């Protein structure tokens, strides 16, 4: 690994600001790394290296004139292939959209460009943001660098893999039931699903508009905060974009947790589907937070299955509404896992969809009530180690609960933070969930925890 690609995004930013490296140098180092590793890990589906170098040269020229746009100026990033990019293929990794080239950029990517970021390319995702990992899809599925036999997590799988392998320092992903947090956890990196409506969904290929969230992924929570600061904010072109003013995240990061009240959702951690190791890692994280000054309280949310069923009902109904026409005529072109999951949405009655939306309001209200006396909630980010790729079932979410679903249903911000290595040698993670619009608070707690646990900041063995 070259020294440059191993740095965090914030370190790269500091070096660029100090003039110690150029954006071209930084971008070329990442291109070299992608060229040497992508054939093994399949993280990139549409590299844009020529464009990246062009953008890097422009960034260097601008900064040479003393015009630095901000901390992301000259920083190379990549996007999940669900974000529209003007003139660049955006296929959602599906044969249904294999020729699709958008005419304008997604708002979140437009904002990153305005901040001076450089595009290395588009990242693999599970098909239509719901399926996979599939052997029969448009593109090969991204491979988990910690164990190539295990799932990298989805649907922002390419982002998790590219970050873990140091191909990129930052990315944009999307999350409808855990699609930022699951790959972040399984690949040992960081990610945050922001408050619903905080980041524009305009130009993000929809899976389920009610539950979709766009958000950053990086190797640290500080890096996520820097990316979130650039993309958050009201977009009048997105009907669900909120107008609330949100405090800047990156500037509020501190290393202690004095005065922070942490709610431990014990019932989630002790669910029968959660591994002992995942529960122990969460409890160990709580001890670290306590040592940093946090007050730990036990709290109870509604049953995890209530959130799971609510999330799945809304998500599958809306997904079929989007893809139904294609599924009636071209279902054979869709990979088997994606086809099965989205088709199930065809059988959900309108009455049950509306009931699920009503239930969502009730669950969101219950969550807000619990959080009225708490700053953040903590619970595991995954049920246990990533499953083996060949053992993934199409309807796993009907057999085990979705521990990432509560934050999508409630719309609250939730970060995934690495919390050690399991006995099988796989990364483990915790979720830190905050109040609506308290994204900065979530990242503050995540950053303090990460800073206090430097031993967990590891690259996969095959990389280091």
Partner 1 sequence: MTEQEFLTLMRQIGLDTQDHDIEELHAAYLRLVSLFDRLDTKSPRAEAKALPVFDPRSVL
Positions in the binding site for partner 1 (CB under 8 A): 239, 303, 305-306, 309-310, 312-313, 327-328, 331-332, 336, 339-340, 343-344, 346-348, 352, 354-359, 361-362, 394-395, 398-399
Structure tokens at 122: 């588009």
Considering the complex, state which of residue 77 and residue 402 has its C-beta at the smaller distance from partner 1: 402
Q: What is 173-201 written as a DSSP string?
A: EE-SSSTTHHHHHHHT-EEEE-STTTB--
CB of 239 to partner 1, least distance (A): 4
CB of 376 to partner 1, least distance (A): 26
CB of 343 to partner 1, least distance (A): 6
CB of 327 to partner 1, least distance (A): 7
Pairing of the two strands 190-193 and 214-218: antiparallel
Structure tokens at 15: 């070096």
Peptide bond into 200 cis (omega under 30): no
CB of 374 to partner 1, least distance (A): 22
Structure tokens at 61: 């020229």
Considering the complex, state which of residue 60 and residue 306 has its C-beta at the smaller distance from partner 1: 306
Q: How far apart are CA 26 and CA 241, in angstroms?
A: 34
| CA nearest neighbour of 155 among 198, 204, 102 | 204
CB of 229 to partner 1, least distance (A): 26
Strand order in the sheet with 261-265: 44-47, 118-123, 76-80, 170-174, 214-218, 190-193, 414-421, 427-434, 376-380, 261-265, 295-299
Cα dihedral across residues 423, 424, 425, 426: positive or negative: negative
Name the catalytic one among 10, 23, 80, 94: 80
Name the catalytic one among 179, 208, 221, 249: 179
Name the catalytic one among 23, 155, 174, 208: 155
Considering the complex, state which of residue 277 and residue 306 has its C-beta at the smaller distance from partner 1: 306
Considering the complex, state which of residue 410 and residue 443 has its C-beta at the smaller distance from partner 1: 410
CB of 123 to partner 1, least distance (A): 28
List own/partner pairs for 47-50 with CB under 8 A and 24 or more apart. Answer: 47/120, 47/121, 47/122, 48/88, 48/119, 48/120, 48/121, 48/122, 49/120, 49/121
**Residue 416: active-site member:** no
CB of 306 to partner 1, least distance (A): 5
Considering the complex, state which of residue 20 and residue 390 has its C-beta at the smaller distance from partner 1: 390
3-state DSSP assignment of residue 213:
coil
Considering the complex, state which of residue 58 and residue 267 has its C-beta at the smaller distance from partner 1: 267
For residue 277, count other CB atoms closer than 10 A to its CB: 18
Cα dihedral across residues 75, 76, 82, 85: positive or negative: positive
Check if the beta carbon of residue 446 is closer than 8 Å to that of residue 286.
no
3-state DSSP assignment of residue 59:
helix
Considering the complex, state which of residue 123 and residue 334 has its C-beta at the smaller distance from partner 1: 334
**Residue 275: active-site member:** no
| CA nearest neighbour of 72 among 236, 240, 218 | 218
**Residue 86: active-site member:** no
**What burial class does residue 193 get, using C-beta atoms within 10 Å of its C-beta: 0-12 exposed, 13-18 middle, 19+ buried?**
buried
End-to-end Cα spacing for the chain: 7
Considering the complex, state which of residue 288 and residue 331 has its C-beta at the smaller distance from partner 1: 331
Active-site annotation, residues: 80, 155, 179
């Amino acid at each position: 690994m070259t020294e440059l690609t191993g740095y965090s995004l914030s370190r790269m930013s500091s070096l660029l600001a100090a003039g110690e490296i150029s954006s071209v140098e930084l971008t070329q180092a990442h291109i070299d790394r992608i060229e040497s590793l992508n054939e093994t890990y399949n993280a990139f589906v549409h590299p844009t290296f020529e464009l990246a170098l062009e953008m890097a040269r422009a960034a260097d020229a601008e900064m040479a004139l003393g015009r630095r746009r901000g901390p992301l100026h000259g920083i190379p990033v990549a996007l999940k292939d669900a974000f529209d990019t003007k003139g660049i293929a955006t296929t959602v990794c599906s044969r249904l959209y294999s020729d699709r080239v958008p005419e304008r950029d997604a708002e979140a990517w437009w904002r990153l460009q305005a901040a001076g970021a450089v595009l290395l390319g588009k990242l693999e995702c599970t098909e239509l943001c719901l399926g996979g990992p599939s052997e029969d899809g448009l593109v090969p599925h991204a491979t988990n660098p910690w164990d190539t036999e295990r799932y990298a997590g989805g649907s922002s799988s390419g982002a998790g893999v590219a970050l873990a392998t140091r191909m990129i320092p930052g990315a944009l992903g999307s999350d409808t039931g855990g699609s930022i947090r699951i790959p972040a956890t399984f690949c040992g990196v960081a990610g945050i699903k922001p408050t619903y409506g905080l980041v524009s969904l305009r130009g993000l290929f929809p899976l389920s508009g009610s539950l979709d969230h766009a958000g950053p992924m990086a190797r640290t929570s500080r890096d996520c905060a820097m990316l979130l600061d650039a993309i958050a904010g009201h977009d009048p072109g997105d009907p669900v974009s909120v107008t609330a003013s949100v405090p800047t995240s990156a500037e509020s990061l501190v290393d202690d947790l004095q005065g922070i009240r942490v709610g431990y959702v014990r019932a989630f951690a002790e669910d029968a589907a959660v591994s002992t190791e995942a529960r122990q890692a969460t409890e160990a994280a709580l001890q670290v937070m306590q040592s940093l000054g946090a007050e730990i309280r036990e709290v109870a949310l509604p049953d995890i299955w209530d959130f799971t069923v609510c999330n799945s009902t809304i998500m599958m109904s809306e997904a079929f509404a989007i893809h139904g026409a294609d599924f009636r005529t071209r279902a054979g072109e869709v990979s088997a896992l994606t086809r099965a999951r989205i088709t199930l949405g065809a059988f959900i009655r309108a009455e049950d969809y509306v009931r699920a939306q009503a239930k969502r309001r009730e669950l969101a209200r219950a969550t807000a009530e619990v959080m009225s006396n708490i700053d953040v909630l903590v619970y595991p980010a995954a049920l246990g180690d990533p499953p083996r790729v060949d053992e993934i079932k199409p309807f796993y979410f009907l057999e085990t609960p979705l521990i990432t679903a509560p934050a999508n249903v409630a719309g609250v911000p939730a970060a995934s933070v690495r919390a050690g290595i399991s006995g099988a040698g796989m990364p483990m993670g915790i979720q830190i969930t905050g109040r609506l619009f308290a994204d900065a608070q979530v990242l503050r707690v995540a950053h303090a925890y990460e800073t206090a646990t430097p031993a967990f900041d590891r690259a996969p063995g095959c990389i280091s």
